[in-house]
């Protein structure tokens, strides 16, 4: 699949549920109304649509959410997708998780061909962790990380930089990741979805500032490592681990974009920062054959836009993109 700007689409991210056992302050409101079950793609439909993308050239598949590991019977989907890894049509099957269920599933994920996981950890302070996630427990996530290591999964930690919340700890997180053998990606908070009382401008911390502060303690060596995504990487000389920065608000990373995103209801977004989307649930439910869905995917890719329009609207303090990150997947 090649889009109108010559980019080959090889990476699909799929949100398998909008539900989550956490309510991170930058991601969700305290009281969330989740989608009725019938709106969601079934696990079988998710398998069909992922398999269609793989036939059309997707090489890397990431399941996300919401929290992918809280979807009931999610391992059925991982087990089904494993065949593509075994047959060599898919290079990588992976997930982004808050880690709360990892202790239970790490080994099974490994058996399904998963080799790497992204785990979100914004702080190493247990009280602050519960404050940010509103209902998470740090020790449970740390147990999950230990299980992932034990199972031989490579771990990348995702940390959202939050002004006045964890900015004083980022330094420590670099050291902790170095000691644990984890790569780290620091994410700038993005203006997505109404999150209730929290104010985006209060949360916003530019990564240029984070980076210059980290440089006081760490030697950050430029790296040409790229994933085709928004992260720009350096290597921390003292730990030997990679450190990535995702700065969607202040940088433009669209030229090398190789990805599209599917929501749990089967809506395909060709760009995280644009509203244009394609409905894949209708063609999936229309017929048992996958011809209609493949046609819909091809047609959607032919409309992938050149770039995004993120802004935090400073006058109105409204999110520029109204949907939540948990809908499109992070
Ligand atoms: N529940 C899983 C998790 O937390 O890793 C997967 C879904 S979550 C939406 C994916 C990633 O998006 C997480 O690393 C989370 O921190 C990040 N995220 C959520 N809302 C965000 C926002 N408004 N700005 C920046 N990152 C955000
Ligand atoms: Fe849940 Fe992940 Fe959103 Fe936190 S960031 S509320 S863990 S989906």
Ligand number nearest to the C-alpha of 230: 1
Ligand 1 binding pocket mutation candidate from 120, 186, 188 (most atoms within 8 A of CB): 120
Annotated domain spans of the chain: 11-328
CATH topology of domain 11-328: TIM Barrel (3.20.20)
pLDDT band at 252 (very low <50, low <70, confident <90, very high): low
Q: At what angle do helices 102-111 and 74-87 cross, to 10 degrees?
A: 30
194 CA from centroid of ligand 2 (Å): 14
Looking up tokens 């036939």, which residue turns up?
Answer: 55
* DSSP letter, residue 112: T
Given a cut of 50, whether residue 314 has pLDDT beyond it is: no
Q: How many Å apart are CA 280 and CA 215, to the nearest integer? A: 45
pLDDT of amino acid 236: 98
The rounded distance, in Å, linking the Cα atoms of 297 and 278 is 8
For residue 268, what are the CA distances in angstroms to 253, 274, 295, 330? 20, 11, 13, 14
Q: Which residues contact residue 321 at a Cβ distance below 8 angstroms, ignoring those fewer than 6 apart?
A: 191, 192, 193, 272, 273, 275, 310
What's the mean pLDDT in 78-98? Answer: 98
Pick the residue with more confidence: 130 or 317?
130
Which of 62, 120, 327 should be mutated for ligand 2, with most atoms under 8 A from CB? 120
Q: Across all residues in the chain, what is the average pLDDT?
A: 90
Tell me which residues have their CB closer than 6 angstroms to ligand 2. Answer: 20, 22-24, 27-28, 65-67, 98, 120, 326
Instruction: Indicate the pTM of the whole model.
Output: 0.92
């Amino acid at each position: 699949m090649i889009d109108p700007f010559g980019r080959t689409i090889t990476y699909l991210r799929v949100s398998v549920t909008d539900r989550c056992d956490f309510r991170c302050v930058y991601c969700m409101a305290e009281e969330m109304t989740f989608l009725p079950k019938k709106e969601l793609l079934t696990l079988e439909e998710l398998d069909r649509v992922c398999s269609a993308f793989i036939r059309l050239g997707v090489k890397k598949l990431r399941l996300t959410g919401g929290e992918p590991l809280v979807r009931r019977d999610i391992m059925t989907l991982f087990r089904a997708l494993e065949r593509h890894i075994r047959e060599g049509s898919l290079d990588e099957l992976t997930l982004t998780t808050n880690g709360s269920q990892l202790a239970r599933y790490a080994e099974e994920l490994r058996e399904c061909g998963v080799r790497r996981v992204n785990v979100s950890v914004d702080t190493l302070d247990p009280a602050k962790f519960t404050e940010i996630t509103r209902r998470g427990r740090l020790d449970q996530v740390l147990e999950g990380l230990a299980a992932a290591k034990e199972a031989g999964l490579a771990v990348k930690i995702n940390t959202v930089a939050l002004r006045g919340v964890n900015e004083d700890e980022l330094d420590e997180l670099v050291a902790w990741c170095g000691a644990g053998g984890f790569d780290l990606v620091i994410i700038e908070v993005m203006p997505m979805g109404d999150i209730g009382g929290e104010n985006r401008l209060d949360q916003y911390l530019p990564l240029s500032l984070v980076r210059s502060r980290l440089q006081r303690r760490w030697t950050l060596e430029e790296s040409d490592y790229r994933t085709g995504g928004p992260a720009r990487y350096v290597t921390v000389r003292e730990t030997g681990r990679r450190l990535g920065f995702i700065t969607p608000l202040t940088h433009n990373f669209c030229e090398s974009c190789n990805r599209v995103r599917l929501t749990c209801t089967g809506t395909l977004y060709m760009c995280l920062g644009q509203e244009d989307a394609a409905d894949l649930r209708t063609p999936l439910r229309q017929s048992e054959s996958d011809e209609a869905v493949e046609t819909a995917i091809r047609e959607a890719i032919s409309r992938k836009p050149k770039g995004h329009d993120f802004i935090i609207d400073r006058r109105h303090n409204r999110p520029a993109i109204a949907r939540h990150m948990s809908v499109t997947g992070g």
